[in-house]
Each structure stands twice: as structure tokens, then as C-alpha cells.
Amino acid sequence: MPPLFPIYPLPAAQNGILKRRTWAETEYPASLLTGIERIFGELLSPEQAVERVLTDVRQRGDAALIEWSARIDGAESPRLLVPKSERVAALGRLEPELRSALEQAAGRIAAFHRRQPAHSWMHVDEREGTLGQIVRPLAAVGVYVPAGTAPLPSSLLMAAVIARVAGVETVIACSPPDRSSGRVPDVILAAAEIAEVDALYALGGAQAIGAMAFGSETVPAVDKIVGPGGLFVTLAKRQVFGTVGIDGLPGPTETIVIADESADPEWVAADLLAQAEHDVLASAILLTPSRGMAETVQEEIAHRLERLSRAGIIAESLAQRGGAVITPDLDAAIAAANAYAPEHLCLSVRDPWALVPKIRNAGGIFVGETSFEVLGDYIAGPSHIMPTEGTARFASPLNVEDFVKRISLIGLTPAAAAELSPTAARIAAAEGLDAHAAAARERTDIGD
């Protein structure tokens, strides 16, 4: 039986748990494919199943939403919109300590993002005229809120609160109902009220993404869809991109902890376990030049696992996608982390700030052991909706820029137009665009 938390040399890890794979290389579990065949009546790939749902939602609206919710999520109620009165009542039923925690988190998320520069600018030159950018908030945004194996009110706050800070006029959310009760969990309803969401719909999966992308009799179409989700949500976002904007294609959560011999192995183990409990596909990886640290963390994880409620999920995640990697030194650990481009990068070393300038690729850097990732998940301030699957090489965590657009402003004087037109005409002629060149040449004397 393989160890619960394997220890690898760096070369083996680079061909194993640190190796990124493309969408085309994804291998789907047999149980997933069997479930698709049971729901759809034939053997389909996940991509084909999602396409079928999206097409039906686009063509039949509410009727398709209700039918697919019943077939996939077991939602028997034909009601899609959750009345505001239920949200208010759920907020009132919430334990005071939990309500206070959600409100504090919302306040810190808002305060952090209000500091982010996102403003219009104009440069005015007396002779040339005006050039600039106008920043406008998106008109309507949809937030997907996971609630499969566990309801995630934090994800709702981490998206909807930022949209409000950015000035988005209409913010809606979709979250699947609980299978046993047929209702969206109270904690999601309460979070929607705290975040001042305009409307919340009891919808999950690909059908929720289709509803927000195409609109239906009940659900309005939005300009952009944000928020994490499982495989079918991610595939649906991929397929509707272009009809609407999306924040990205977040995959299973992932974390890398870089630790030296000064780190507390109990804390390192706790942080790795916290990530592994999300999903069997989650990746929790330790990079360390200290074999003693790796072995102690391995022992601590085994000791703690039996006390955790999601032990089965954690064990599968750590055995298949996690582990400790022994590196020659901290610089090699940093190089491996930059190549992997993790969603979360935790620096549990003696001098963490000395490493920060060397980090090129990460969704978030957690500096030192008191800046542990769980605080980032809930309360620190930055959004926990971060780039995964190596996209931290070019993508950013969800932020104010995701909820605004920039409009170029061009207001040239006649003199500037006359001066620039010959240059424009020459470039247009080189491209073989005669009408462009003619339109420019006609302006060459307007400054006289």
C-alpha cells in the first residue's frame, strides 16, 4: 500500500505530481461516465453532455432548466427564483457568531478591493487633443456558488462583494439546492443577503451557466459569469465564453508549501490537510530541502487524518495528487513552484520576505506561517477565487478589473489629425486597404 503522503525526489515529482496536463489529456473516472450514461440515456463525454444541456437551455428556457435540475440535481420544485423574504429569514436564523463572521469577511473583502486603482484617465494636450481611457462597470454579472459536497458562502462573498465595489448595477447568483431538503442552504441565502445580491436562483451545474449566459423567462442574461465550480460548470463556462465573459476556468484547488527546517511541521501538515479536504482532485504539495521536515510532516498527516470528517477525500487526494518533494535547496524549490504556477503558494521559511521577489507565478503568496492559507480563504481580504491549472502564469485572482471594462477615448484636434493622417494612409496602403487610406488622405488638409 503506497504511503498516505508520498515523498519524492525532485526529478520524479517533475514527471509526476508537478507535471501539468492539458484538457485533452484529462482522464475521466469510470463512475463519472457511468453517471452521464444513466442521466442522458447514452454514453457521452462530459463535453458532449454539457453541450446538450446548454443547447436545450438556450432553446427552451425555464422548462429546460427545471427538467435538467430534476434529472441531475434531484430538484423537484419548479420554482427557480428564491424569494428575497427567504433570504432575509435565513439571515435572521443564522447563528449570531456565524452572521458576524460573514459580515466581517464581507467588510474586509470590500475594504481590500476599494484600494485597487481602477479609474478613468485622460491626457489633454493643447495641440494634439485628448487621449485616455474610460472605465465603466459591467451592467450585469452572474456569480456561480458551489454547494455540492459543501455549501460555499465564502465564494459568494468573494465575488459578489467585489462586483458591488466595482459598481456593477445588477448582480445575480446561482447555487444548487440541497438534495435532501430541495432548498438552497440557509448559509448561502444569508450570504446573498449580506452581499446585496439582486436575485438568487436555485440552479446548479451546466444548466445554471446556460441560464446566466442565454437568459430564460425567469433568469436574466448577464455580461459575465464568475465563480468556481466542478467539472460540468467549468466545461459550461468554457463553451459559453464569447456569448458572455468569464473570469477563467478554475479547476480543483491546489497549494504548494515551501518549507525549510525552521517551519513548524504540525502547522505545515494542518495547511496541507486543509487543502486536500476540498476534493479528491485537489493538490497539496510540500517542497522542502529538508528530508527530516518531509518525514515529520508525513507522520503528522497520518496522525491527524483519522480525526477529520472528510478523511476519505483527503486520503485519496494526498495519495494521488499530493506529496512532499525533496529539493536541493530553497532556490530549486522556488524554481519548481514558478514552473508549476500554483493557485496558492505558502512560504513557511525562516525569512519568507526574502523569497517574495523571486516568485513569478502564483495566484496568491502567503508570507510566513501566520499568513496561512485558510485566512486567505475566508477573511484576509483578497478574493480566494484564484487561477488554477497553471494559469497563474498569465491570469490573476478575481479583482475589481474583472468587473469593469475600459473604453478608449480619442479626441484629436484638426491639427493632430492632419499631421497623423499621412502616416495612417501609408500603413493602410501597405495592408492593401484602399478605403482606409483614402479616408486618411482626405483629412490631410483639415489642419490648414
Q: What is the pLDDT of residues 351-391, one digit of tens each?
A: 999 999 999 999 999 999 999 999 999 999 999 999 999 99
The pLDDT tens digits for 406-446 are 999 999 999 999 999 999 999 999 999 999 999 999 888 66
Q: Could you tell me if 124 and 410 are in contact, meaning their C-beta atoms sit under 8 angstroms apart?
A: no
Q: Would 7-19+253-394 and 81-246 be classified into the same CATH topology? A: yes
For residue range 103-122, list pLDDT tens digits in order: 999 999 999 999 999 899 99
- Which carries the bigger pLDDT value, residue 74 or residue 242? 242
Long-range contacts of 79-83 (CB under 8 A, 24+ apart): 79/202, 80/201, 80/202, 80/203, 80/211, 80/218, 80/219, 81/199, 81/200, 81/201, 81/202, 81/218, 82/184, 82/189, 82/200, 82/201, 82/202
The backbone torsions φ and ψ at residue 171, rounded to the nearest 5 degrees and listed phi first, read -125, 120
CA atoms lying within 13 Å on the CB side of residue 155: 22
What is the CATH number that goes with domain 7-19+253-394? 3.40.50.1980
Our measurement of the distance from residue 124's CA atom to the centroid of its chain's CA atoms, rounded to an integer in Å, reads 38
- Which is more confident, 354 or 229? 354
Average pLDDT over residues 56-68: 96
pLDDT at 27 over 80: no
Active-site choice (193, 254, 343, 389): 343
Q: What is the mean pLDDT of residues 279-298?
A: 95
Complete DSSP assignment for 319-360: HHH-EEEE-SSHHHHHHHHHHH--SEEEEESSSHHHHGGG--
Residue 219 exposure: Cα atoms within 13 Å on the Cβ side = 38
Residue pair 282/321 in contact by the 8 Å Cβ criterion: yes
In angstroms, the CA 46 to CA 30 distance is: 12
- 4 or 139, greater pLDDT: 139
Mean pLDDT of the chain: 94
The shares of helix, strand and coil residues in the chain, as percent rounded to the nearest 5, are: 45, 15, 35
Is residue 196 annotated as part of the catalytic site, yes or no?
no
Q: What is the DSSP string of 256-304?
A: EEEE-TTS-HHHHHHHHHHHHTT-TT-EEEEEES-HHHHHHHHHHHHHH
Inter-CA distances, 413 with 126, 148, 180, 416, 441, Å = 8, 58, 67, 5, 16
Phi/psi for 183 (5° steps) reads: -120, 150
Note the pTM of the prediction, 2 decimals: 0.93
The whole-angstrom separation of Cα 416 and Cα 404 is 30
Q: Where are the domains of the chain?
A: 7-19+253-394, 81-246, 413-441
Residue 448: the pLDDT is 47
| Helix 96-114 × helix 153-166 angle, to 10° | 40
Superfamily of domain 81-246 in CATH is: Nitrogenase molybdenum iron protein domain (3.40.50.1980)
Catalytically annotated residue among 344, 369, 373, 384: 344
436 is catalytic: no
Instruction: Please give the grid coordinates belonging to residue 249.
Output: 476556468
Q: Which residue would you say has higher pLDDT here, 30 or 256?
A: 256
Q: Counting Cβ atoms within 10 Å, is residue 216 exposed (0-12), middle (13-18) or buried (19+)?
A: buried
**Distance separating alpha carbons of residues 141 and 403, to the nearest angstrom:** 8
pLDDT on residue 2: 62
